[in-house]
Chains A and B, each alone.
Chain A
């Protein structure tokens, strides 16, 4: 069984469109994250949610809006896509920050290409 899954795996879209990426984890974790990996492979945190509540929001354009309907899901909606949004987006999950279990489990990534 896949622990952290993301859909879609690939996303090709036109500039200006709105798109969503979905993430689900079946590990029973309380905390979920979104990371962006650019073409040079640098990986940067975007958002973190703990038990459906936002706890980290790095400097990310407000065109990006995460939504957590329950603690097993963290979706990422992107409005008005720009060329610079092209990247691989990774979802991850972990136990709660206070649990002492800091290992994060990553999804397979969503490769977004904006044309």
Chain B
């Protein structure tokens, strides 16, 4: 089974709105990462948050991590049509830097 479970599986919003995606995981982690995948493309790293951090920002992205609840959220503010993609959380820290991915959230931003 997947380490990470993402919620919602699909999200449709209007341009300019904020998009929030959640990720839950099961075991202890060293870090949690978010990746974006455009249709038919490879994954692109967005942001990494370590287990001793609670919040991190990068441009319009804000990631939170609650290790007590084993959950993370990714907030994209002021969304744009170009943000349309699938977003995956991945937990890391096991031997060999193995990443365990969630099932992804498919985000559609309508212009």
A residues at B contact (CB < 8 Å): 4, 31, 33, 35, 40-45, 48, 50, 55-56, 90, 92, 94, 97, 102-109
A55 to B40, CA, bound (A): 29
Q: Is the CB of B45 within 8 A of A108?
A: no
Residues of B within 8 A of A (CB): 2, 30-31, 33, 35, 40-45, 48, 86, 88, 92-93, 95-101, 103-104
Chain A binding surface SS class:
strand
Q: Enumerate 21 A-B pairs (CB-CB under 8 Å) in ascending A order.
A: A35-B101, A40-B103, A42-B101, A43-B43, A43-B88, A45-B99, A45-B100, A48-B98, A50-B96, A92-B43, A97-B95, A97-B96, A102-B30, A102-B48, A102-B97, A103-B33, A103-B48, A106-B35, A106-B42, A106-B43, A106-B44
Let me know if B45 and A44 touch, CB within 8 A: no
Q: Are B45 and A103 in contact (CB under 8 A)?
A: yes
Residues in B whose Cβ lies below 8 Å from that of A106:
35, 42-44
B69 to chain A minimum Cβ distance, whole angstroms, is 22
Selected contact of B97 from candidates A4, A94, A109, CB within 8 Å: A94
Contacts of A45 in B (CB 8 A): 98-100
A56 pairs with B42, CB closer than 8 A: no
Listed from nearest, the 4 A-B pairs whose CB atoms lie closest are A106-B42, A97-B97, A43-B101, A55-B96
A103: min CB distance to chain B, Å: 5
Chain B residue with minimal CB distance to A90? Answer: B42
| A102 / chain B contacts, CB cutoff of 8 Å | 30-31, 33, 48, 92-93, 97
Q: Report the Cα distance A97→B98, complex, angstroms.
A: 9
B96 close to A90 (CB less than 8 A): no
